């Protein structure tokens, strides 16, 4: 799938345009016996799987599927393809022959459902109408054929008018619900079962009146007209606002269209020996095999989902109807063996006869995905390579967040007050604050806070950074809060609509009158969207405990999940070609990265080594007027730098460590220009101006930049501040020599940032080679330090062949490369207009999260090729945040990089995805 599905969609959509070129001599309609499960593009998921079950010999009511191609023609041209009507007629004739009655036949009506079904499941997004074919003329015939069950016939008819009126004719569904409620009240009935045939007949009359009034037309009595209108309504339901929004959020392309399934009706509402239900072949939460599902006696399919009556656990079907139950269990086994995966199922029992109405490979929790994959390997149903495709890095990532204790939901004392959208995972606890200023102020004084807003905007950024988590009452997965929180890796629940946020009075009111004032403790779960009053205890993720080495997969305490993760990770490590390194700047992070499976450091940023007390040395360096002053400052920094590297090389002994020379603009190490100006002005007014401050202010002014991202930084610093890079190289070389003397195995690599042209690299390289030679001579060791560069500017990528002449390795800095290729500064754009871009579908996902394959990716690919053409053994890696993003990892695998480097916490995800990419 491309990264810009929505844009593509809107380009192909046109209203009432000329008849599409797509409309060639195509076949648009397929009998259930003609399809199979691999035809989801053409028949949609529901249609493909109905066909598959039909061909497996399972009891599926006969029917046919109108392909997504027909829908596409309709969406493009505003008209059904010309050939469709005749094709539908031919299939309907065949169906009628087979069933021995015609659609809506007066004395014995054939009824059908008209069901939507796209390639990807979009639960509840599109329309389905049951009981098509029923009319004033045939309702008595239906009653007679059902053995005189008048109630059943009128119940079916009122359902048709209701569903048809709502979904096809666009009548507000509440009007029907209200009429139904009124009928129940009049009868003193507490469910629809309390209404008899006469009541239902009266209700049908009322429903028809509602339709006539609201839709401006009568409910159509002609069966074929009912069917054709319903088909068109299903096509139209592809483009409802909620369907479009759902697709954007789930990144489903907008131009796929939906298929339409015409399926002969079976009736679960024929009395207590009938019913309808849903089932899973195993538990979608734990993966355990067993009987999971719900059953509802005397009901039609839509009742289960609508929750209008209480269902019973599926296991009870065994006592209600043992024969059907046994048959269902056998079918579930057949399906699992056939699909080699967890399936979910819709079924209906009509007077003791079981019918299968839907199946598909079922959704599951992240934990269940890992367990099921290994369970299926153990059952011999799938192999290890397939097991890797059954899980993904996003699921593994979810399992690595700390979470609230399992018992929370039922335990007294933890009151859940809201349930919003799980926008950015994690569990966060803190004091409620309602504005950014307070969030920052309180967090500075050491408080943990949760920022609560109706919705956030760029002004809230500082508060979001200061908060443990963010809670909003409005907005979905692409709202500002959600996008920015995900970018920061911060817990976020958004769109908790039942919570009333009053920022003026600094309070939140939950249903039932619970009030949270500023300062009250609140807990939010960004993995489930749940919001609790008070402090809910947080437990570390067992999966992280395992990666940390605090829990062993073989040990007794290891739960099933940890064992499953352990096995899957082992498969991934066995097959992957990409190596995985860490972005780590100190020995502690390096050690953790190693525990998590890092095979080296791909990016050690040296700027963190210039902070704290060392800032003052940087100031001296900047202020130096003479060579001596400058050398003094550098000489003071050298031993500190060297000590940092010694520790790091020791932690990563035997593995490569890529050290990047100083990258950020120097003014980042100097005092803030405003603060300093004020200080100097105050001092001057007191006539005691401090000489040093004055010089500093001058320097700060000189170094001040409009666009620091594009200013004096990276290799440019190395070229204009004499001795800076040489000092860093010397520190690396001496540290390596010291480790060597201590019988260690240091493997340092020196990386020059922000190179745009080979000349820059050559100059720095010559200087570095000289320094290294000096250290080698002085210590009597051969160091073999590799020197390479980051590729993070478009010009570097475009001249990669030249640059490769002077570089032993490339590391793609995809953060800066994304900024410079798109021409935007991340900090500015993410907070200001990314939300709008995501909402308009310009991005499916932020290019800072997932590599923009078509733009930035194309440069990576061509630079890799050009570099390798010049220097076949050129080592290639990537060290942007994309190194830990699942989709991006697959891309880096495809373009042939040697390794990805990411933050220590993302390493398991990168290992897993690298394995999945290789096993594919």
The listed partner (Mg ion, ligand ADP, none) that binds 301, CB under 5 to 8 Å by sort, is ligand ADP
Select the span of 300-308, 324-332, 391-399, 637-645 touching ligand ADP (CB under 6 A). Answer: 300-308
Q: Is residue 263 at the binding interface for ligand ADP, with CB under 6 A as the rule?
A: yes
Select the span of 260-268, 443-451, 749-757, 767-775 touching ligand ADP (CB under 6 A). Answer: 260-268
Select the span of 294-302, 331-339, 656-664, 679-687 touching ligand ADP (CB under 6 A). Answer: 294-302
Cβ-based nearer residue to Mg ion, 374 or 814: 814
Among candidates 295, 296, 262, 300, which has minimal Cα distance to 152?
Answer: 300
Cβ-based nearer residue to ligand ADP, 162 or 820: 162
d(CA 217, CA 563): 62
Report whether 132 contacts 174 (CB < 8 A): no
Among candidates 456, 461, 397, 466, which has minimal Cα distance to 425?
Answer: 397
The listed partner (Mg ion, ligand ADP, none) that binds 369, CB under 5 to 8 Å by sort, is none
Q: Is residue 113 at the binding interface for ligand ADP, with CB under 6 A as the rule?
A: yes
Q: What residue ranges in 845-893 does DSSP mark as E strands?
A: 875-878
The listed partner (Mg ion, ligand ADP, none) that binds 348, CB under 5 to 8 Å by sort, is ligand ADP
Among positions 254, 420, 529, 813, the unique one binding Mg ion when judged by CB under 5 A: 813
d(CA 10, CA 13): 5
Map 456-521 to HEC letters.
CCHHHHHHHHHCCEEEECCCCCCCHHHHHHHHHCCEEEECCCCCEEECCCCEEECHHHCEEECCCE
Select the span of 124-132, 251-259, 721-729, 895-903 touching ligand ADP (CB under 6 A). Answer: 124-132
The listed partner (Mg ion, ligand ADP, none) that binds 819, CB under 5 to 8 Å by sort, is none
Q: Is 266 helix (H, G, I), strand (E, B) or coil?
A: coil
Q: Is residue 237 at the binding interface for ligand ADP, with CB under 6 A as the rule?
A: no
Select the span of 158-166, 261-269, 659-667, 753-761 touching ligand ADP (CB under 6 A). Answer: 261-269
Cβ-based nearer residue to Mg ion, 304 or 768: 304
Among positions 29, 130, 466, 754, the unique one binding ligand ADP when judged by CB under 6 A: 130
Q: Which residues contact 125 (CB under 8 A, 6 or more apart)?
A: 237, 240, 242, 243, 246
Binding residues with ligand ADP: total (CB under 6 A): 17
Q: Is 762 helix (H, G, I), strand (E, B) or coil?
A: helix
Select the span of 185-193, 251-259, 567-575, 809-817 touching Mg ion (CB under 5 A). Answer: 809-817
Counting Cα atoms < 13 Å in the Cβ hemisphere of 829 gives 14
Q: Is residue 344 at the binding interface for Mg ion, with CB under 5 A as the rule?
A: no
Q: Is residue 115 at the binding interface for ligand ADP, with CB under 6 A as the rule?
A: yes
The listed partner (ligand ADP, Mg ion, none) that binds 263, CB under 5 to 8 Å by sort, is ligand ADP
Q: Smallest distance, Å, CB 308 to ligand ADP?
A: 13
Report whether 14 contacts 73 (CB < 8 A): no
- Stretch (H or E) spanning 281: strand 275-282
DSSP 110: B
Q: Is 232 helix (H, G, I), strand (E, B) or coil?
A: helix
Q: Is residue 301 at the binding interface for ligand ADP, with CB under 6 A as the rule?
A: yes
Q: How far is CA 788 from the centre of its chain?
A: 35
Q: Does the CA dihedral 34-37-41-47 come out positive or negative?
A: positive
DSSP 20: P
Q: How far is CA 73 from the centre of its chain?
A: 31
Interaction with Mg ion in 777-806: which residues (CB under 5 A)? 792
Cβ-based nearer residue to ligand ADP, 65 or 374: 65
Q: How far is CA 122 from the centre of its chain?
A: 15
Among candidates 490, 703, 695, 717, which has minimal Cα distance to 607?
Answer: 717
Cβ-based nearer residue to Mg ion, 117 or 393: 117
Among positions 39, 357, 467, 900, the unique one binding ligand ADP when judged by CB under 6 A: 357
Q: What angle do CA 300, 305, 308 make, to 5 degrees?
A: 75
Q: What angle do CA 579, 583, 588 make, to 5 degrees?
A: 110
Q: Does the CA dihedral 157-159-162-166 come out positive or negative?
A: negative
The listed partner (ligand ADP, Mg ion, none) that binds 375, CB under 5 to 8 Å by sort, is none
297-314 burial code (b ≥16 CB/10 A, e <16): bbbbbbbbeeeeeebeeb
The listed partner (ligand ADP, Mg ion, none) that binds 792, CB under 5 to 8 Å by sort, is Mg ion
Among candidates 541, 540, 545, which has minimal Cα distance to 367?
Answer: 541
Interaction with Mg ion in 815-874: which residues (CB under 5 A)? 816
Cβ-based nearer residue to Mg ion, 494 or 797: 797
Instruction: Write each residue from 327 to 346 as x if it is in contact with ligand ADP (CB under 6 A), else as -, in one continuous string.
Output: -------------------x
Which residue is it, tokens 């309504």? 233
Cβ-based nearer residue to Mg ion, 129 or 423: 129
Written as one string, the DSSP assignment of 560-595 is: HHHHHHHHHHHHHHHH--SEEEEE--SHHHHHHHHH
Among candidates 698, 707, 600, which has minimal Cα distance to 648?
Answer: 600
Q: Smallest distance, Å, CB 266 to ligand ADP?
A: 5
Select the span of 259-267, 412-420, 582-590, 683-691 touching ligand ADP (CB under 6 A). Answer: 259-267
The listed partner (Mg ion, ligand ADP, none) that binds 816, CB under 5 to 8 Å by sort, is Mg ion
Which residue is it, tokens 């590599």? 851
Cβ-based nearer residue to Mg ion, 52 or 792: 792
Cβ-based nearer residue to ligand ADP, 128 or 901: 128
Backbone phi and psi for residue 344, each to the nearest 5 degrees, phi listed first: -110, 155
Q: Is residue 128 at the binding interface for ligand ADP, with CB under 6 A as the rule?
A: yes
Instruction: Write each residue from 32 to 71 as x if it is in contact with ligand ADP (CB under 6 A), else as -, in one continuous string.
Output: -----------------------------x----------
Q: Is 416 helix (H, G, I), strand (E, B) or coil?
A: strand
Q: Is residue 166 at the binding interface for ligand ADP, with CB under 6 A as the rule?
A: no
Among positions 180, 195, 266, 367, the unique one binding ligand ADP when judged by CB under 6 A: 266
The listed partner (Mg ion, ligand ADP, none) that binds 541, CB under 5 to 8 Å by sort, is none
Q: Is residue 119 at the binding interface for ligand ADP, with CB under 6 A as the rule?
A: no
Residues labelled as active-site residues: 480, 879
Report whether 791 contacts 815 (CB < 8 A): no
Q: Is residue 348 at the binding interface for ligand ADP, with CB under 6 A as the rule?
A: yes
Select the span of 263-271, 381-389, 390-398, 672-680 touching ligand ADP (CB under 6 A). Answer: 263-271
Q: Is residue 311 at the binding interface for ligand ADP, with CB under 6 A as the rule?
A: no
Cβ-based nearer residue to ligand ADP, 357 or 791: 357
Cβ-based nearer residue to ligand ADP, 37 or 642: 37
R_g of the chain computed on alpha carbons: 33
Cβ-based nearer residue to Mg ion, 393 or 665: 665
**Among all residues, whose Cβ is closest to ligand ADP?**
301
Q: What angle do CA 745, 749, 752 make, to 5 degrees?
A: 165
Select the span of 298-306, 658-666, 680-688, 751-759 touching ligand ADP (CB under 6 A). Answer: 298-306
Report whether 34 contacts 51 (CB < 8 A): yes
* Sequence-ordered alpha helix ranges (H) in 780-847: 794-798, 800-804, 814-822, 826-832, 834-839
Instruction: Write each residue from 402 to 441 as x if it is in contact with ligand ADP (CB under 6 A), else as -, in one continuous string.
Output: ----------------------------------------
Interaction with Mg ion in 353-372: which residues (CB under 5 A)? 358
Q: Smallest distance, Å, CB 849 to ligand ADP?
A: 31
Using CB under 5 A, list all residues that contact Mg ion. 358, 792, 813, 816
Binding site for ligand ADP (CB under 6 A): 61, 113, 115, 124, 128, 130, 263-266, 300-302, 346, 348, 357-358
């Amino acid at each position: 799938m491309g990264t810009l599905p929505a844009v593509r969609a809107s380009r192909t959509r046109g209203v009432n345009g000329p008849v599409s070129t797509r409309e060639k001599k195509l076949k648009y309609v397929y009998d259930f016996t003609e399809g199979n499960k691999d035809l989801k593009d053409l028949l949609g998921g529901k249609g493909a799987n109905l066909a598959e079950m039909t061909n497996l010999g399972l009891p599926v009511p006969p029917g046919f599927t109108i392909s997504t191609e027909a829908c596409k023609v309709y969406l493009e041209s505003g008209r059904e393809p010309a050939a469709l009507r005749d094709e539908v007629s031919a299939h309907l004739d065949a169906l009628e022959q087979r069933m021995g009655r015609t659609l809506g036949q007066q004395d014995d009506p054939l009824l059908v459902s008209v069901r939507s079904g796209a390639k990807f499941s979009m639960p509840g997004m599109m329309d389905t109408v049951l009981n098509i074919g029923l009319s004033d003329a045939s309702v008595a015939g239906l009653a007679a054929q059902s053995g005189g069950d008048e109630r059943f016939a009128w119940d079916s008819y009122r359902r048709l008018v209701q569903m048809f009126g709502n979904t096809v004719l666009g009548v507000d569904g509440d009007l029907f619900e209200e009429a139904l409620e009124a009928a129940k009240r009049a009868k003193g009935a507490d469910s629809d079962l309390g209404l008899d045939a006469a009541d239902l007949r009266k209700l049908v009359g009322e429903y028809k009146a509602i339709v006539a009034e609201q839709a401006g037309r009568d409910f159509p009595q002609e069966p074929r007209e009912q069917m054709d209108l319903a088909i068109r309504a299903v096509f139209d339901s592809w483009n409802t606002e909620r369907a479009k929004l759902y697709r954007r959020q789930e990144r489903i392309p907008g131009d796929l269209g939906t298929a339409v399934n015409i399926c002969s009706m079976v009736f679960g509402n024929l009395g207590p020996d009938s019913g309808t239900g849903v089932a899973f072949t195993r538990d979608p939460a734990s993966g355990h095999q067993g009987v999971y599902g719900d059953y509802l006696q005397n009901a039609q399919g839509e009742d289960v989902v609508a929750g209008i009556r209480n269902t019973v656990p599926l296991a009870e079907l065994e006592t209600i109807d043992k024969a059907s139950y046994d048959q269902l269990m056998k079918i579930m086994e057949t399906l699992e063996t056939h699909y080699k995966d967890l399936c979910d199922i819709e079924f209906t029992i009509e007077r003791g006869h079981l019918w299968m109405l839907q199946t598909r490979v079922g959704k599951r929790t992240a934990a269940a995905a890992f367990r099921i994959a290994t369970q299926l390997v153990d059952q011999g149903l799938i192999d290890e390579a397939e097991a890797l495709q059954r899980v993904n890095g996003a699921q593994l990532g979810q399992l690595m967040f700390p979470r609230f204790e399992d018992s929370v939901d039922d335990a007294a004392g933890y009151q859940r007050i809201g349930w919003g959208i799980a926008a950015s995972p994690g569990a966060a606890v803190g004091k409620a604050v309602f504005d950014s200023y307070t969030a920052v102020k309180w967090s500075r004084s050491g408080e943990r806070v949760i920022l609560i807003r109706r919705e956030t905007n760029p002004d809230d950024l500082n508060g979001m950074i200061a908060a443990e988590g963010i809670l909003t009452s409005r907005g979905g997965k692409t709202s500002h809060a959600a996008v920015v929180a995900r970018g920061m890796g911060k817990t976020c629940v958004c769109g908790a609509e039942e919570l009333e946020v009053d920022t003026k009075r600094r309070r939140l009111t939950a249903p039932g009158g619970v009030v949270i004032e500023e300062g009250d403790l609140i807990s939010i779960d960004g993995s489930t969207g749940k919001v609790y009053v008070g402090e809910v205890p947080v437990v570390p993720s067992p999966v992280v405990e395992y990666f940390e080495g605090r829990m062993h997969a073989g040990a007794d305490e290891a739960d099933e999940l940890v064992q499953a993760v352990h096995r899957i990770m082992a498969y991934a490590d066995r097959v992957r070609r990409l190596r995985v390194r860490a972005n780590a700047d100190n020995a502690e992070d390096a050690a953790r990265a190693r525990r998590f499976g890092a095979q080296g450091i791909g990016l050690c940023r040296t700027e963190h080594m210039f902070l704290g007390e060392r800032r003052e040395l940087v100031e001296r360096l900047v202020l130096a007027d003479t060579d001596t002053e400058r050398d003094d400052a550098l000489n003071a920094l050298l031993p500190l730098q060297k000590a940092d590297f010694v520790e790091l090389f020791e932690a990563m002994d035997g593995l490569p460590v890529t050290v990047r020379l100083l990258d950020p603009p120097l003014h980042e190490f100097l005092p803030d220009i405003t603060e300093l100006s004020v200080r100097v002005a105050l001092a001057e007014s007191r006539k005691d101006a401090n000489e040093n401050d004055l010089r500093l202010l001058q320097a700060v002014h000189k170094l001040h930049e409009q666009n620091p991202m594009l200013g004096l930084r990276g290799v440019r610093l190395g070229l204009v501040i004499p001795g800076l890079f040489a000092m860093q190289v010397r520190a690396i070389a001496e540290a390596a020599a010291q480790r060597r003397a201590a019988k260690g195995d240091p493997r340092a690599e020196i990386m020059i940032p922000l190179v745009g042209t080979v000349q820059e690299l050559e100059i720095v390289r010559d200087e570095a080679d000289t320094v290294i030679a000096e250290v080698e001579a002085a210590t009597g060791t051969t160091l073999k330090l590799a020197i390479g560069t980051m590729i993070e500017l478009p010009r570097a990528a475009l001249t990669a062949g030249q640059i490769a002449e002077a570089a032993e390795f490339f590391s793609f800095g995809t953060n800066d490369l994304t900024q410079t290729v798109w021409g935007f500064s991340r900090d500015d754009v993410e907070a200001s207009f990314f939300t709008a871009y995501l909402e308009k579908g310009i991005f499916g996902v932020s290019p800072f999260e997932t590599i923009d394959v078509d733009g930035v990716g194309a440069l990576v690919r061509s630079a890799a090729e050009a570099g390798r053409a010049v220097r076949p053994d050129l080592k290639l890696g990537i060290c942007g945040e994309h190194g830990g993003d699942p989709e991006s990892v697959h891309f880096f695998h495809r373009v042939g990089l040697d390794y990805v480097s990411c933050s220590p916490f993302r390493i398991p995800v990168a290992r897993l995805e690298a394995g999945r990419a290789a096993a594919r």
